[in-house]
């Protein structure tokens, strides 16, 4: 039995990942945005639930402190994510563009604050194909659209995953597109269910197949895909990590 943390596991693909891991006898700490959602998870039988709003740096730090007081994790799955509605550029109480904060910066902060596990899985998206990391405008102050913010944030999350892979050679750090999955994010038009969306993340989190025990790689349906070269560029990764450190006040620790 191994210990797993799955962020954003109150709903959608994260709930599917947690359920699959639990069905294999693993210990899973689930994560909910607030106490009401955590209470629903506990009432449904979840043994251990952590609460944290990833749109708040203080709440994300408190969540990391709460988790650090527990036994360390073998695997952390960064699954939580948010797709903004079209309209106004959303800004959090920290003054940060919300999509970037929830999808990329919070994953950076949790990676930096939690003890290193042996595997890190980052649930990204094939939208990174059309994403761009603009180091001078990470938060899309110019020309914000829902799609550019979402794709850019998932690309930034992927570059953070690959930066972690370079920094922590003993840790398997990979990113994955889960597929187009029926959840509250994608709606009923999506063709696949959450079990299909959980398949590759769970495989990366658990399998000893040689194909799954690589690092710094992007997967879809258990196959390696290469969707955006910017994610693989060490200079972009390092500059992004520096920006995230400046925004959070927390450096990514040395190996």
The residues binding ligand NAP (CB under 6 A) are 8, 10-14, 33, 37, 53-55, 79-82, 102, 123, 125, 177-178, 180-181, 183-186, 190
Residue whose CB is less far from ligand NAP, 131 or 178: 178
Catalytic residues: 150, 154
Alpha-carbon gap, residue 95 to 116, rounded angstroms: 29
Cα–Cα distance, 31 to 88 (Å, whole number)? 28
Between 38 and 252, CB nearer to ligand NAP: 38
Q: Which is nearer to ligand NAP, 81 or 117 (CB)?
A: 81
Q: Provide DSSP, 126-172.
A: GGGGG----TT-TT--SS--HHHHHHHHHHHHHHHHHHHHHH-TTSE
Task: Report which of 49, 37, 156, 41 is spatially closest to residue 96, judged by C-alpha positions.
Answer: 156
Q: Least distance to ligand NAP from the beta carbon of 71, Å?
A: 22
CB 99 → ligand NAP: shortest distance, Å? 10
Measure the CA–CA gap between 82 and 139, rounded to whole angstroms.
15
> Residues 113, 54: contact at Cβ < 8 Å?
no
Give me the least distance between CB of 17 and ligand NAP, in Å please: 9
d(CA 86, CA 10) in angstroms, rounded, equals: 24
Closer to ligand NAP by CB, 132 or 239: give it: 132
Shortest distance in whole angstroms from residue 169 CB to ligand NAP: 26
Tell me how far, at minimum, the Cβ of 222 lies from ligand NAP, in Å.
16
Nearer to ligand NAP, 196 or 251 (CB): 196
Residue 200 corresponds to which tokens in the numbers above? 């590759």
CB atoms within 10 A of CB 204: 28
DSSP-assigned states of every residue in 80-122: ----PPSSSPPB-TTSSBHHHIIIIIHHHHHHHHSPP-SEEEE
In the bound state with ligand NAP, the residue whose beta carbon lies nearer, of 93 and 169, is 93
d(CA 20, CA 211): 20
Q: Strand, helix or coil at 37?
A: helix
Give me the least distance between CB of 163 and ligand NAP, in Å please.
Answer: 18
């Amino acid at each position: 039995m191994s210990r797993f943390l799955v962020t954003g596991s109150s709903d959608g693909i994260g709930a599917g990942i947690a359920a699959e891991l639990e069905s294999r006898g693993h210990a899973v700490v689930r994560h909910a945005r607030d106490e009401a959602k955590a209470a629903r998870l506990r009432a449904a039988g979840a043994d251990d639930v952590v609460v944290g709003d990833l749109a708040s740096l203080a709440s994300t730090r408190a969540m990391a402190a709460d988790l650090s007081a527990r036994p360390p994790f073998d695997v952390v799955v960064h699954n939580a994510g948010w797709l903004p509605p079209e309209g106004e550029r959303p800004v959090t109480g920290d003054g940060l563009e919300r999509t970037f904060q929830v999808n990329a910066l919070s994953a950076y902060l949790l990676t930096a604050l939690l003890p290193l596990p042996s595997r890190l899985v980052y649930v990204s998206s094939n939208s990174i194909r059309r994403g761009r990391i603009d180091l001078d405008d990470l938060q899309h102050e110019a020309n914000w659209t829902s799609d550019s913010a979402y794709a850019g944030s998932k690309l930034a999350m992927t570059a953070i995953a690959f930066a972690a892979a370079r920094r922590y050679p003993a840790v398997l750090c990979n990113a994955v597109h889960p597929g187009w999955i029926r959840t509250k994010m994608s709606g009923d038009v999506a063709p696949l269910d959450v079990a299909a969306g959980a398949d590759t993340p769970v495989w990366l989190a658990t399998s000893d197949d040689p194909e799954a025990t690589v690092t710094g790689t992007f997967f879809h349906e258990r196959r390696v895909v290469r969707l955006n070269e910017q994610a693989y560029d060490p200079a972009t990764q390092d500059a992004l990590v520096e920006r995230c450190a400046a925004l959070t006040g927390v450096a990514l620790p040395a190996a």
